[in-house]
Amino acid sequence: MTSKSPVRSCEDIDETALSYAEIKALCAGDERIKEKMDLDMDVAKLKLMKANHQSQQFRLEDNLLKYFPEEIERNKGFIKGLETDMATLEAHPHPKDGFAGMIVRGDSLTDKDNAGAAILEACKEVKGLEPMEIGSYRGFTVSLSVEGFGQDFILTLKGQMTHRVTLGKDAHGNLIRIDNTLSDMPKRLQNVRAQLENLHSQMDAAKTEIGKPFPQEAELAQKSARLAELNALLDIDSRAPAQRQATEVLEKSERPSVLESLKTPCVCGTGKKLKRELAR
């Protein structure tokens, strides 16, 4: 068994095909045929709904055993990593009305414009898809990579977590983008915590749904039983004319054939002739 959802839906069920006997009975106004057609549709839909219910149960089971535990642990790791990186950032603040400084290609740069220009210059050396480490900033390792077929340069700040910045062509603007990305960590932490809470809520809801029986099981059993009864009755009715026809054919075959009687030689008068011969 698999946990995949059925491809069909209730709306996919085609009209019921009728046999010749059923069409004949329908034309004769037999109400059982209409009932059978309705039951065919109802039972088919209920069976499909039951299959969907079972598939949902399998998905819930898979989620409880694998998805939720893995996602919860992953988000816990994000929270721990962000909290650590926020502590790192707090330990390396900008001086009042100043610049914390950046190391690029071994040079310690204390001027913002010079640091921004050095980053753009380092972009010219990036080749291939692998990130190239170029220095450090506020306690984070700084790397450069290129994406988008060489059109987009990505600066990565690596601590416990990875923080990505898409660079532009303005040196000063790039430093602002970098600081904005780092200052967004509290907001990211809040989002991850909300996601973790949501995962716990989903897991609790799944636990209440797992193991629930198909809610329309009794209706399915009742209609299936009635459909089987109707099928049996209609099958008997359709066989009766055929049986009567077979009986009539058999009776006709047992009657003496007029043609055969004409072919039989006539033996009239034989008895009288025999009596005269015996009298002599």
What pTM value is reported for the model? Answer: 0.69
What integer pLDDT is reported at residue 244 of this predicted model? 55
What integer pLDDT is reported at residue 274 of this predicted model? 47
Is the pLDDT score of 10 beyond 70?
A: no
- Mean pLDDT lowest among 64-73, 136-145, 270-279: 270-279
- Mean pLDDT lowest among 72-76, 85-89, 123-127, 216-220: 123-127
Band of residue 235 on the pLDDT scale cut at 50, 70, 90: confident
Q: Can you give the three-state secondary structure of the chain, one letter per residue?
A: CCCCCCCCCHHHCCCCCCCHHHHHHHHCCCHHHHHHHHHHHHHHHHHHHHHHHHHHHHHHHHHHHHHHHHHHHHHHHHHHHHHHHHHHHHHCCCCCCCCCCEEECCEEECCHHHHHHHHHHHHCCCCCCCCEEEEEECCEEEEEEEECCCCEEEEEEECCCEEEEECCCCHHHHHHHHHHHHHCHHHHHHHHHHHHHHHHHHHHHHHHHCCCCCCCHHHHHHHHHHHHHHHHHHHHHHHHHHHHHHHHHHHHHHCCCHHHHHHCCCCCCHHHHHHHHHHC
What integer pLDDT is reported at residue 13 of this predicted model? 47
Is the pLDDT score of 240 beyond 50?
A: yes
What integer pLDDT is reported at residue 208 of this predicted model? 96
Is the pLDDT score of 199 beyond 70?
A: yes
What percent of the chain lies above the pLDDT cut of 70? 74
Domain boundaries of the chain, sorted by first residue: 10-84+200-241, 94-198
Mean of pLDDT values over 219-245: 81
Is the pLDDT score of 192 beyond 50?
A: yes
pLDDT tens for each residue of 20-32: 555 655 666 678 8
